[in-house]
Amino acid sequence: MTHTATKPAFTALASKLSENSAAIGVIGLGYVGLPLAAACSRAGFSVVGFDIDQAKTDALNSGASYIDAVTSEELAEHVAGKRFEATSDFAQLSRCDVIVICVPTPLSKQREPDLSYVTRTADDIAARLKPGQLIVLESTTYPGTTLDVLKPALEAGGLKSGEDFWLGFSPEREDPGNMNFSTASIPKVVAGDGQQASQLVQAFYGAVVDEIIPVSTPSVAEAVKITENVFRAVNIALVNELKVIYDAMGIDVWEVIDAASSKPFGYMPFYPGPGLGGHCIPIDPFYLTWKSREFGLPTRFIELAGEINVAMPQYVIGRLQDELDRQQAVALSAARVLILGLAYKKNVSDVRESPSFALMELLEKRGTKVDFHDPHVSEVPVTREHADLTGRKSVKLAADSLAEYHVVLLATDHDAIDYRLVADNARLVVDTRNVFARHGLQGKHIVKA
């Protein structure tokens, strides 16, 4: 027997959201969940953050943040004001009026969606689900996940979406390191399972962010996120392929892109690199290619882009080997290499899916001695795919130590790196980001890849 979420229950939750008095639960306190929790607290809601990692919840409750987008000072204010607390006790979900799921959605080794975090979280919620709650998924996934996977899991206990509880999807749009946009200032795409759910999802996010973009169904919202990341993945693959072609022709692809960017219409600049990183762009397009097989439809364009981007670390190592042979007559097996930058993008500590890991592993398979320097990453954290590298520590940059390496490989162009020091003291520099040219640093020992 279900306990139908009557019109009074809907009205009560809508009233709590409009008064910012609803209790918000955020499951998964990583690069998406913690900034969202902070944004909800800033909006005046009381927030309970859930994570299975007790060390994380202990750190957060002491006011110590491990995410760049939320400073420890801000976090301490939320904790002191009793607007935020973290816990690993999922029994506390029963306290929440709104529950937002922000857990990882990685790929398997076969490049198929791994929804285990979502399904386990759904089971945790279903065991404690009560009438009148709003459940929202933010984890990026293929179109149909909210209604075909999450909804049945939540309904397994007898409560029904749209009758007893409400269900929605709103894709995360975090961009770590982007100082121009925060969780609250990025327009938020929102959708609900039915009219009441749509109204509640809009009311919730409308109280937290500056602008909401309602769409008709959760599947449309899921497709929006996939489309955004496919767009970036395909265009990055294009410039990566152009880099390889133009390099063979003796043409600098970065000079080409800069000149092409002067066109005020019909062109948008994308830049090559050593490979894709971050949780979204290297992963999300493969969710769509997997789902498309259900409909017997190929995704040749997307898969080709993935092949090009995945091949970039190998291309970079090939260029590095060529320059070692040409300039120093040293084999990779006898070389010492310093990688500059472990994070997947500049000015952040986020190492998820970083191409630097692929570069390190490719080199070490050839017998190369590899160190890394990253001003934002003091040591390699625990990762699912690169456990053998856990605990490696960032080395310091100094004139005498730089000269001991046969080559310095620039993978991530952090602003905090002293590029003049590197240019003046390194024997050979392989630059995958064009950062030395941007700083006006040139020489025969500085090459691009």
Distance of CA 44 to the CA centre of its chain: 27
By residue count, the chain amounts to 449
Render the burial of 356-394: b for 16+ CB within 10 Å, e for the rest: bbbbbebbeeeebebbbbbbbbeebeeeeebeebeebeb
From CA 20, how far away is CA 105, in angstroms rounded?
30
Asked whether 394 and 294 are in contact (CB, 8 A), the reply is: no
Catalytic residue among 40, 96, 102, 280: 280
**Partners of 168 in the β-ladder:** 136, 192
Two tokens, residue 58: 């202990």
Sign for the CA dihedral angle at 170, 176, 180, 182 comes to: positive
Q: How far apart are the first and last CA of the chain?
A: 64
Q: Side chain identity at 97, as an amino acid letter?
A: D
Please classify residue 198 by burial: count the beta carbons closer than 10 Å to its beta carbon, then call 0-12 exposed, 13-18 middle and 19+ buried. Answer: buried
Q: Alpha-carbon distance 371 to 141, whole Å?
A: 35
Active site residue 280: yes
User: What angle, 0 to 180 degrees and rounded to 10, lies between the N-to-C axes of helices 218-248 and 284-292?
Assistant: 110
The secondary structure of residue 9, as a DSSP letter, is H
Catalytic residues: 280
